[in-house]
Each structure stands twice: as C-alpha cells, then as structure tokens.
C-alpha cells in the first residue's frame, strides 16, 4: 500500500476496470486508501460476450493488498445499469466520491464501409456510457456538494486517426461532456477532467500490423504500459487537485501534456458584408496560413515515447 494514502476514506467507481488502464487505476486508487467498485462487463475488444472473471480478479488483488473493493459486471451502455453501479457503491462500500469513465470498445473500419452497428455500439459504450455513469453519480455529488469525474478521451478525437470515425466522434464528444459537467456542477464543488492515455491495451492490440511502418508504430506503443496512466488519474482525484476542472491532459509513457481547447485563431471582417465571391477571394486566403493539416495522432506525437 502507498505510504501516504491520498484518497483515504474515498469511494471510487472505475468502469472498464478488469484489465489494462482501468485495472491499474483501480489498484493505485486502492493503494492510496480508496474503496473501489470495479466495473467490467468482461466482453471482447469489440464488445461481444461477458465474463465476470476480470473484474473479480481485480477485486481479489485489492483485497489481497489489504484494501476494500467490490465487483460490478454491468454494461455502462445501460442507463439503469449505471444507476445500479452508483447504488452498489453506496450499499457495499459506503458512498461515492470519484468516477473514472474508462470503459470502451473498438470497431475500427474505414468510414465508407462503417455500418450503423459499428457506429452505434462504439457511441453507446464510450459516449453514452460516460453520460450514463456520470448522470447517475451527479445526483449524489450534487447532494454531498463534492465529487470528481475523470473521463478517458483519445487523440483519435483530439487530433485524428484513420478508420476510427465512430471512436473519434465518441472521444471528442466526451471532451464536450466533461466541460459541460465542469461548468454545470462547479457550484456544487464537483470537478470534471479528461485524460487522453497512450498505452498498450487489448483495444490497441487490434491495430493492424500489415506493414513495417505499422509494426514499428505498435512496438513503440507497447513501451507505454497501462500503469503509466494511473498516477495522473489518481492525482486528479485527490484534494491536491481540487482547483483543477475542465481540463484535458494526455499521458504518454513518462510525459504529461496539457492539451489545447478550441479557441479562435484568426478573423477577418468586411464592413460591407460578405458575398460568396468575397469569402473565396478574401476570407479563405487570409486564413489559409492557419489551416490545420490532415494530421493523425502519430504526426503530432512524432517522437519516440520517453
């Protein structure tokens, strides 16, 4: 257990906590004194099936180190199931102070071949799931006038990637959700932030490795273990971060980034108003130097992890 228990007396709900990033966050939460409701459906990377084993194994690990935890096997995609998670945290662990929205699936496919099911399933788990759990917890947080949300976003949404329109849209939607929660619940002492994790996991393991370039990219990602994401996540949930809300952080191996948020870059104005022709002749050319290229995440984070 950690020498200084910075979350002593707190109760945390971590979704998708049976493996990978969620598992390591749960273990570190427990080491810092938090009781943890370990939620994991136990499905495949694409969301199929269910298995109680992953969540229960994390609970067993926490109890073996002297902590307190309980398992939940529900899907975050269900609004009622999310409420059951919050109720269970109260009934079995005595309250709720922290929510980490980490559960996710992948259905990667190039956009012109993406099906409605590919879209709906990913949006349901990532974006709707984050709403479901956050909304259920919000009533509790408002009543006790305290609480902390950490939501997992991705540079697939913040920057861009091939073949991930569903995932990117969900992850960028989570950024908007987090900022709205931060604004709406600030007066109740509730804070909400995002983390964009770079880490090797089952989901990242679905990335194609058909070319030498793809193989090299995957080898770099494998260096970034899920445990590297946990310290920043846990830190955001402590009293020491009580004034941090509405922010987006990225964690990449031993690097932590504060990510930008959309603000105006350049403006042009005409007192006589705009026509289609003057927009084409004046406005667009004046702003062209500030256009963003069609970058992918790997183009922006182009150096090896350190």
Q: What is the spatial order of strands in the sheet that 147-152 belongs to?
A: 69-72, 35-39, 11-14, 98-101, 147-152, 190-198, 248-252, 255-258
The yes-or-no answer on residue 167 being catalytic is yes
Helix (H) or strand (E) holding 185: helix 165-185
For 57, other C-beta atoms within 10 Å of its C-beta total 16
CB 25 within 8 A of CB 233: yes
Q: Which of 66, 3, 16 is nearest to 229 (CA)?
A: 16
Bridge partner list, 147? 190
Residue from 73, 167, 291, 292 carrying the catalytic annotation: 167
Angle (CA) 43-35-50 rounded to 5° is: 10
What lies within 8 Å, CB to CB, of 60 at 6+ separation is: none
Q: What is the four-CA torsion angle of 212, 215, 216, 219, rounded to 10 degrees? A: -160
- Residue 8's φ and ψ, nearest 5 degrees, are -60, 130
Cβ(122)–Cβ(105) below 8 Å: yes
Residues with catalytic function: 167
């Amino acid at each position: 257990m950690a020498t200084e228990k910075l979350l002593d007396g707190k109760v945390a709900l971590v979704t998708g906590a049976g493996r990978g990033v969620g598992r390591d966050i749960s273990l570190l939460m427990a080491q810092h004194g938090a009781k943890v409701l370990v939620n994991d459906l136990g499905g495949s990377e694409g969301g199929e099936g269910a298995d109680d084993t992953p969540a229960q194994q994390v609970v067993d690990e926490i109890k073996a180190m002297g902590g307190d935890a309980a398992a939940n096997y529900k899907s975050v995609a269900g609004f009622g199931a999310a409420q059951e998670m919050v109720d269970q945290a109260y009934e079995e662990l005595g309250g709720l102070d922290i929510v980490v929205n980490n559960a996710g699936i992948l259905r990667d496919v190039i956009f012109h071949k993406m099906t409605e099911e590919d879209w709906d399933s990913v949006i349901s788990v990532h974006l709707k799931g984050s709403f479901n759990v956050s909304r259920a917890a919000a009533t509790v947080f408002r009543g006790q006038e305290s609480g902390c949300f950490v939501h997992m976003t991705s540079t697939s949404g913040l920057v861009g990637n091939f073949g991930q329109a569903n995932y990117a849209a969900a992850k960028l939607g989570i950024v908007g959700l987090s900022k709205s929660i931060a604004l709406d619940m600030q007066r109740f002492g509730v804070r909400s932030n995002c983390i964009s994790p770079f880490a090797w996991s089952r989901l990242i393991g679905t990335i194609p490795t058909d070319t030498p370039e793809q193989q090299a990219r995957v080898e770099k990602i494998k260096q970034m273990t899920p445990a590297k994401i946990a310290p920043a996540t846990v830190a955001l949930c402590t009293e020491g971060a009580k004034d941090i809300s509405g922010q987006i952080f990225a964690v990449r191996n031993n690097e932590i980034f504060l990510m930008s948020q959309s603000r105006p870059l350049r403006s042009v104005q005409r007192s006589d108003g705009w026509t289609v022709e003057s927009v084409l002749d004046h406005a667009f050319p004046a702003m062209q130097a500030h256009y963003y290229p069609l970058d992918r995440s790997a183009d922006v984070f182009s150096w090896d992890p350190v």
